[in-house]
């Protein structure tokens, strides 16, 4: 508690007070003291409580900035995606780990600045993101899906902070057949 600022202490007090009032509201819902209300109204109240709880959990001042993935063309930034660091952070405890840490996810890049008419998505990327400290880098490939293998840098056995894999390769081969039916066309 010594490392908390005055603002942190006030926020903690506010969170405790809000949680106590939420507990009181939850008890009235669960005890059935509001029998005149319908189940739908009770569910709406419960939903409001969960939204308040999510608001309290969300840290207003993040200590780790968000991750940006940029697409460059001739040293000019043409598209990007923003990912919350909270979703990528690694922890040895699965409950504390980010929901996208060590998973293949699809990013749709969008142009920076104002929207350009007709260009909502500049590119689509499949990425494997992991955010953690160097001492935990041996766990980078723990959740790597089957079919993927690290290329460049190190193998899984010799994984050290200095020689992480450069990219991932998908070694399995899939064949697909596409059929298109054209009902009307010109030219």
- Give per-residue pLDDT as tens, 66-113: 899 999 888 998 889 999 888 999 999 998 899 999 999 999 998 887
Burial letters 66-92, b for 16+ CB under 10 A, else e:
eeeeebeeeeeeebbbebeebbbbbee
Quick one: pLDDT at residue 43? 82
- The fraction of the chain above a pLDDT of 90, given in percent, is 14
Helix boundaries (H) for the chain: 6-31, 39-57, 85-88
pLDDT, residue 107, reads 93
pLDDT(49) > 70: yes
Q: Which residue has the higher pLDDT, 1 or 5?
A: 5
Distance CA 34, CA 42 (A): 9
Confidence of residue 143 (pLDDT cuts 50, 70, 90): confident
Selection from 140, 187, 129 nearest residue 162 by Cα:
140
Q: What is the DSSP string of 43-77?
A: HHHHHHHHHHHHHHHS-SS-SSPPEEEEEEETTEE
What is the C-alpha radius of gyration for the chain, rounded to an integer number of angstroms? Answer: 24
Confidence of residue 57 (pLDDT cuts 50, 70, 90): confident
Over residues 175-186, the pLDDT tens digits come to: 889 888 878 878
pLDDT at 178 (0 to 100): 84
* pLDDT band, residue 120 (cuts 50/70/90): low
Total-model pTM: 0.60
């Amino acid at each position: 508690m010594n490392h908390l600022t005055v603002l942190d202490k006030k926020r903690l007090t506010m969170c405790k007070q809000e949680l106590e009032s939420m507990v009181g509201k939850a008890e009235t819902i669960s005890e059935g003291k509001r029998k005149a209300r319908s189940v739908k109204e009770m569910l709406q109240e419960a939903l409001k409580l969960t939204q308040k709880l999510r608001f309290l959990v969300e840290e207003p001042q993040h200590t780790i900035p968000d991750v940006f993935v940029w697409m460059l063309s001739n040293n000019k930034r043409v598209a990007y995606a923003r990912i919350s660091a909270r979703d990528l952070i690694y922890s040895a405890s699965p409950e504390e780990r980010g929901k996208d840490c060590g998973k293949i996810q699809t990013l749709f890049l969008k142009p920076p600045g104002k929207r350009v008419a007709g260009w909502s998505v500049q590119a689509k990327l499949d990425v494997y993101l992991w955010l953690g400290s160097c001492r935990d880098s041996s766990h980078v490939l723990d959740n790597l899906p089957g079919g993927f293998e690290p290329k460049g840098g190190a193998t899984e056995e010799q994984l050290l902070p200095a020689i992480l894999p450069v990219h991932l390769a998908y070694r399995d081969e899939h064949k697909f057949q596409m059929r298109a039916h054209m009902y009307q066309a010109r030219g």
